[in-house]
Amino acid sequence: MSVFSAPQFARTLEIPQVLIAPSIDPLSDKNRELGTGQIEDILQQLGIHSDKPMVTQISRFDRLKDPVGVLEAWRIARRRVDCQLVLAGGGATDDPEGAVVLREVREKASDDPDVHILDLPPTANIEINAIQRASTVIIQKSLKEGFGLTVSEALWKSKPVIAGSVGEIPLQITHKYSGILTHTVEGTAFWIKQLLSAPEFAQSLGANGHNHVRNNFLRTRHMRDYLLAFSYLTGDRSDVIRL
């Protein structure tokens, strides 16, 4: 049997294949609840002040995650609503292209005190959790994407998410219901401004997104899918229809 995470990766094969979407672990350091004091301590260690609304993208510094586009969108939005930007991610040390992108983003940010560019180590799970929980709006402005786990992670924390309508992100976000889907820098800028100006609407997106992740993208659903696949393999085919 073969397992694919999404239909676009599936191939014509002679063995049975099943589609099983990825999931997040709500009990892991990346996703578990954190106390307010703990979040504040971590932000302080990272040099981020929580005095302004925080717009965040957590991603490897990779062109397909479009960190420069996020910076441009944030700059347009900031003309209307005061806010800070956090671009946090790793991947710059072992990936030469990542280092180039990180340098480019730093140059473009040109020491703006409201832009925090954080090159995080791979172990920074609690830090990512704290940054996501402290954020007012979370962006995932990918130009190309697989599943986009950062979207599930942000929605699980009940955050309003603005994300590129690519890869499997539309499976996680229904536009204007459980988040916002965008295609351009201008669209992203528009929605940053809108969500920062309409906190109740933003909160409702986050709440709907949280429920969607709870129902579809937690480890429990993932385990159920695998158990059904295993029961198919061991000959009990009565459950297969539910896969």
Would you list the DSSP string of 53-88? -EEEEE--S-GGG-HHHHHHHHHHHHTTS--EEEEE
Contact between 169 and ligand UDP per CB under 6 A: no
Token pair 């140059």: residue: 107
Cβ neighbours, 10 Å, residue 238: 8
- Chosen residue from 86, 117, 133, 153 binding ligand UDP by CB under 6 A: 153
**Judged by CB, which is closer to ligand UDP: 89, or 206?**
89
Q: Which stretch binds ligand UDP (CB under 6 A): 70-78, 146-154, 179-187, 201-209?
A: 146-154
Which CA distances in Å does 177 have to 32, 182, 185, 218? 24, 14, 21, 20
- Chosen residue from 56, 57, 136, 150 binding ligand UDP by CB under 6 A: 150
Q: How many CA atoms, within 13 angstroms, populate the side-chain half-sphere of residue 173?
A: 34
- Chosen residue from 67, 69, 98, 148 binding ligand UDP by CB under 6 A: 148
- Chosen residue from 60, 133, 141, 212 binding ligand UDP by CB under 6 A: 60
Helix, strand and coil percent figures for the chain, each rounded to 5: 50, 15, 35
Smallest separation (angstroms) from ligand UDP to the CB of 87: 10
Smallest separation (angstroms) from ligand UDP to the CB of 200: 28
Contact between 225 and ligand UDP per CB under 6 A: no
Determine the Cα–Cα distance for residues 92 and 215; give it in Å rounded to an integer.
34
Token pair 């239909």: residue: 7
**Judged by CB, which is closer to ligand UDP: 150, or 182?**
150
**Judged by CB, which is closer to ligand UDP: 90, or 179?**
90
Contact between 90 and ligand UDP per CB under 6 A: yes
Contacts of ligand UDP in 5-44 (CB under 6 A): 30
The β-bridge partners of 138 are: 56, 161
Determine the Cα–Cα distance for residues 43 and 7; give it in Å rounded to an integer.
39
Q: x/- binding map, residues 40-59, to ligand UDP, per CB under 6 A?
A: ------------------xx
Residues of this chain that bind ligand UDP (CB under 6 A): 30, 58-60, 89-90, 120, 128, 146-150, 153
